[in-house]
């Protein structure tokens, strides 16, 4: 029988019981208090070290401590308080509910940068032993590191190793790739150069302004001239005005006398020559943040893993980072399936399956909403548009300075809408649209888009080439343009007057057709070419902006719809164009007749899918991000283009308006009419030299109604 079978309890040694009693004893303080006291001690040492680095606050102990640090680390002694502070804070918060996060990889990168700096700085000294004694350079650490690398690789080889360690330390400390670091440095250099160029341009403009003000000041009277001297009498018959050369203003150099006969009669008779505003000084450049390549790679991996786990293998073949969203191009993969005969065949993934997994992708990427474009027009990929973490502002200046906009330089009504998902500018000609319908909910970017379009037209057209009609029932969006020479009439803010404005515009359209028929021209361009060849004044384009259509349809829906449809149908050849915006794209506001005559449409964020179908005939506008994110439907493209609209600040708009107001003489009154009354509009011709038949208001044969 074994010992276990006897049932005897095994004996416990006295040593085991003693160790168990000792383990049950508790320390007077717990681990959290020990950690907190250790961190507090390190903070105290860091503060004492920081104060000891100042030559005015040293004692015997601190003098020895600073001497040890100077000889061991050299210039690296100034980094000791920072390292002790970080380590002390980590110890104090290590066992709390909110511990200080210590990214050890970045901490190691910073340590590697410090060691590389100490070694490379000491490597450049001629007398390294003297540098150690003086406490400069890298101290003993830098001395031995430099000496060892030089003995192994030579002086130049040691510098190569230091350069490699510097690149590795920057990559680890900043958690960025070398390409991102170089692109960030290049971006900062570009911003610095741009700021320096703008500063020099502002200084030059200020100097020119001061020089003009100094030249315009009256010359002070000399002290030796008697004050009782009488001024010459210019209205005396014996001394005509022509004999006084000082009273005649000097002729401008850009208008020689022999060119006066070559100018049209309207210009030769004193019509003002206008100068286009410089967009470099009036519009601000873009401030694009650098795109994070690490974030893009992480999102691409998540998209592939998520769809692969759902049985839809795809491969990200291209990435197009934009200002607001980034488009990932997916190439569908293959899956193996058995047919009815039992054979295994490789079948390609259907595009509809990828489009149906938009919500799963939004959950995996923690970004909503996500728009899937299947397929991308002109490409064999499926586009997945994911919102960026940091949105960049699209300025009007960058779009107007692009190559795409330069190709439309021959078109006076070229418009810059914004940038697409790949960052390419989206531009178009208003004369070819020929009208534009804008819709979107409140605070989605409609009024900003209208201001950007008006600013684009004002920067490229003089009042001789373009006239504007602005309707603003909200009274605060377009009223700042009052006073510019492009306006036919002041900004219309009363909805009851809009019917009269539209009637005047329809009458002007009919009058232009009559003028074209008499001149034998088919459109405005052909008519202006003939008028310029004959020396007669040409007709400008007319663009009418309506900021809110829903408010006008509540006042007079029948008249507004009839006049808008008639103008939109016939006004293309006469150079008259409409840009209409509304925040309620319902069927009673944007009727079928209005939609049929507005093939070009721009939809921002709307509240429902029904409104999206009303404005762009397809869903998608209800999944936009707002703040300028829109879908543009061009009349010559069957697919929608997602764009980020241009942003023009109030300061830029004020600068453009002030520029045009500054070109108007102080006492010159521009020829304007009041189109609110159709009778007044017919009686007053808009441009000189055009004969208009005035109807007889007292004709008794006409009915009062």
537-556 pLDDT, tens digit each: 899 999 999 998 998 998 88
* Partners of 426 in the β-ladder: 418
| Per-residue tokens: 513 | 């057709």
Query: Sign of the C-alpha dihedral, residues 262, 264, 267, 269?
Result: positive
Q: Strand 382-387 vs strand 371-373: parallel, antiparallel, or unpaired?
A: antiparallel
Three-state DSSP string of 333-390: CEEEEECCCCCEEEEECCHHHHHCCHHHHHHHHCCCCCEEECCCCCCCCEEEEEECCC
DSSP per residue over 633-654, as a string? E-TT-SS-EEEEE-B--HHHHH
Q: Does residue 523 surpass a pLDDT of 80?
A: yes
Which of 8-22, 127-141, 404-418 has the highest mean predicted lDDT (pLDDT)?
404-418
**Prior bond of 375 cis (ω within 30°):** yes
Single out the residue of 256, 252, 249, 251 nearest to residue 216, CA to CA.
Answer: 249
Q: Does residue 265 surpass a pLDDT of 60?
A: no
Residues in the chain: 705
Q: What is the mean pLDDT of residues 315-343?
A: 86
Whether 287 and 392 have beta carbons less than 8 Å apart is answered as yes
Q: Does residue 469 surpass a pLDDT of 90?
A: yes
Q: Give me the pLDDT at residue 462, please.
A: 92
**What is the rounded radius of gyration, in angstroms, for the C-alpha atoms of the chain?**
39
The CA distance from 622 to 361, in Å, is 18
Q: Give me the pLDDT at residue 170, please.
A: 76
Cβ neighbours of residue 209 under 8 Å, at least 6 residues apart?
none
Whether 423 and 536 have beta carbons less than 8 Å apart is answered as no
Phi, psi of 466 (to 5 degrees): -145, 135
Single out the residue of 543, 545, 573, 546 nearest to residue 463, CA to CA.
Answer: 543
Distance of CA 132 to the CA centre of its chain: 53
The total of other beta-carbon atoms located within 10 Å of residue 478's CB is: 23
Q: Give me the pLDDT at residue 155, please.
A: 77
Please report which confidence band the pLDDT of residue 39 belongs to, taking 50, 70 and 90 as the band edges.
Answer: confident
Q: Strand, helix or coil at 694?
A: coil
The CA distance from 451 to 619, in Å, is 27
560-619 pLDDT, tens digit each: 999 999 999 999 999 999 999 999 888 889 988 899 999 999 999 998 999 999 999 888
Whether 565 and 593 have beta carbons less than 8 Å apart is answered as yes
Phi, psi of 212 (to 5 degrees): -65, -40
Q: Give me the pLDDT at residue 254, please.
A: 40
- Widest Cα–Cα separation across the chain: 158
Whether 96 and 159 have beta carbons less than 8 Å apart is answered as no
Q: What is the mean pLDDT of residues 127-151?
A: 75
- Asked which of 175-189, 316-330, 380-394 is least confident by mean pLDDT, the reply is 175-189
Q: Strand, helix or coil at 99?
A: coil
The CA distance from 212 to 280, in Å, is 21
Q: What is the DSSP letter of 178?
A: H
Phi, psi of 460 (to 5 degrees): -125, 0
Burial, 408: exposed, middle or buried (Cβ in 10 Å; 0-12, 13-18, 19+)?
A: middle
> Which pTM was predicted?
0.59
Which of 84-88, 169-173, 267-271, 597-601 has the highest mean predicted lDDT (pLDDT)?
597-601
Burial, 7: exposed, middle or buried (Cβ in 10 Å; 0-12, 13-18, 19+)?
A: exposed
The CA distance from 540 to 464, in Å, is 6
Q: Does residue 400 surpass a pLDDT of 50?
A: yes
Please report which confidence band the pLDDT of residue 256 belongs to, taking 50, 70 and 90 as the band edges.
Answer: very low
Please report which confidence band the pLDDT of residue 485 belongs to, taking 50, 70 and 90 as the band edges.
Answer: very high
- Taking each helix axis from N to C end, the angle separating 498-519 and 524-534, rounded to the nearest 10 degrees, works out to 60
Q: Does residue 19 surpass a pLDDT of 70?
A: no
Whether 695 and 702 have beta carbons less than 8 Å apart is answered as no
The CA distance from 77 to 602, in Å, is 62
Whether 370 and 385 have beta carbons less than 8 Å apart is answered as yes
Whether 414 and 427 have beta carbons less than 8 Å apart is answered as yes
């Amino acid at each position: 029988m074994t010992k276990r079978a006897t049932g005897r309890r095994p004996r416990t040694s006295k040593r085991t019981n003693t160790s168990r009693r000792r383990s049950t004893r508790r320390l007077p303080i717990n681990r959290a208090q020990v950690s907190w006291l250790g961190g507090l001690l390190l903070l105290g040492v860091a503060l004492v070290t920081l104060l000891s680095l100042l030559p005015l606050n040293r004692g015997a102990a601190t003098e020895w401590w600073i001497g040890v640090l100077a000889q061991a680390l050299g210039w690296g002694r100034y980094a000791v308080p920072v390292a002790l502070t970080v380590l002390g804070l980590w110890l104090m918060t290590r066992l709390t509910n909110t511990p200080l996060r210590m990214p050890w990889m970045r901490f190691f990168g910073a340590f590697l940068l410090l060691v590389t700096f100490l070694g490379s700085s000491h490597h450049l000294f001629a007398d390294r032993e003297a540098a150690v004694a003086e406490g400069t350079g890298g101290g003993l650490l830098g001395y031995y590191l430099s000496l060892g690398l030089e003995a192994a690789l030579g002086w130049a080889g040691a510098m190569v190793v230091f350069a490699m360690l510097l690149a590795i330390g920057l990559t680890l400390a900043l958690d960025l790739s070398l390409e991102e670091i170089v692109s960030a440095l290049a971006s900062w250099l570009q911003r610095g150069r741009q700021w320096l160029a703008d500063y020099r341009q502002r200084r030059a403009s200020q100097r020119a302004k001061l020089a003009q003000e100094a030249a315009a000041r009256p010359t002070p009277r000399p002290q030796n001239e008697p004050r009782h001297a009488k001024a010459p009498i210019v209205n005396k018959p014996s001394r005509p005005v022509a004999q006084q050369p000082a009273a005649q203003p000097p002729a401008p150099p850009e208008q020689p006398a022999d060119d006066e006969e070559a100018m049209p009669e309207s210009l030769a008779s004193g019509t003002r020559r206008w100068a286009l505003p410089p967009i470099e000084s009036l519009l601000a450049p873009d401030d694009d943040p650098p795109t994070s390549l690490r974030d893009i790679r992480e999102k691409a991996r998540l998209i592939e893993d998520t769809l692969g786990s759902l049985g839809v293998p795809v491969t990200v073949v291209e990435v197009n980072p934009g200002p607001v969203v980034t488009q990932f191009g997916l190439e569908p993969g293959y899956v193996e399936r058995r047919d009815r005969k039992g054979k295994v065949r490789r079948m390609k993934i259907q595009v509809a399956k990828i489009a149906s997994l938009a919500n799963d992708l939004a959950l995996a990427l923690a970004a909503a909403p996500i728009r899937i474009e299947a397929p991308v027009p002109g490409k064999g990929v499926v586009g997945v548009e994911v919102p960026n973490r940091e949105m960049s502002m699209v300025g009007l200046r960058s779009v107007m300075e692009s190559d795409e906009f330069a190709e439309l330089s021959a078109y006076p009504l070229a418009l810059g809408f914004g940038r697409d998902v790949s960052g390419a500018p989206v531009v178009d000609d208003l004369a070819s649209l020929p009208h534009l319908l804008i819709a979107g909910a409140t605070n989605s970017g409609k009024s900003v888009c209208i201001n950007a379009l008006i600013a684009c037209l004002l920067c490229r057209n003089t009042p001789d080439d373009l006239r504007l009609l602005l309707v603003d029932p909200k009274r605060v969006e377009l009223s700042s343009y009052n006073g510019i020479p492009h306006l036919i009439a002041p900004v219309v803010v009363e909805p009851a007057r809009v019917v009269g404005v539209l009637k005047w515009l329809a009458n002007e359209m009919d009058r232009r057709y009559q003028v074209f028929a008499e001149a034998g021209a088919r459109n405005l361009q052909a008519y202006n070419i003939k008028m310029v060849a004959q020396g007669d004044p040409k007709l400008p384009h007319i663009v009418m902006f309506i900021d809110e259509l829903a408010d006008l349809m509540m006042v007079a829906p029948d008249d507004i719809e009839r006049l808008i449809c008639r103008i939109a149908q016939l006004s293309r050849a006469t150079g008259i164009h409409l840009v209409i915006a509304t925040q309620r794209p319902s069927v009673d506001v944007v009727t079928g007749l209005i939609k049929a005559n507005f093939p070009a449409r721009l939809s921002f964020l709307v509240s429902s899918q029904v409104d999206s179908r009303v404005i762009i005939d397809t869903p998608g506008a209800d999944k936009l991000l707002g703040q300028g994110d829109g879908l543009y439907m061009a009349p010559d493209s069957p697919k929608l283009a997602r764009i980020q609209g241009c942003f023009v600040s109030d300061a830029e708009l004020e600068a453009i308006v002030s520029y045009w107001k500054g070109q108007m003489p102080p006492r010159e009154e521009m020829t304007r009419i009041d189109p609110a009354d159709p009778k007044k509009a017919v009686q007053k011709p808009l441009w000189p030299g055009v004969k208009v038949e005035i109807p007889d208001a007292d004709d008794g044969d006409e009915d009062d109604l």
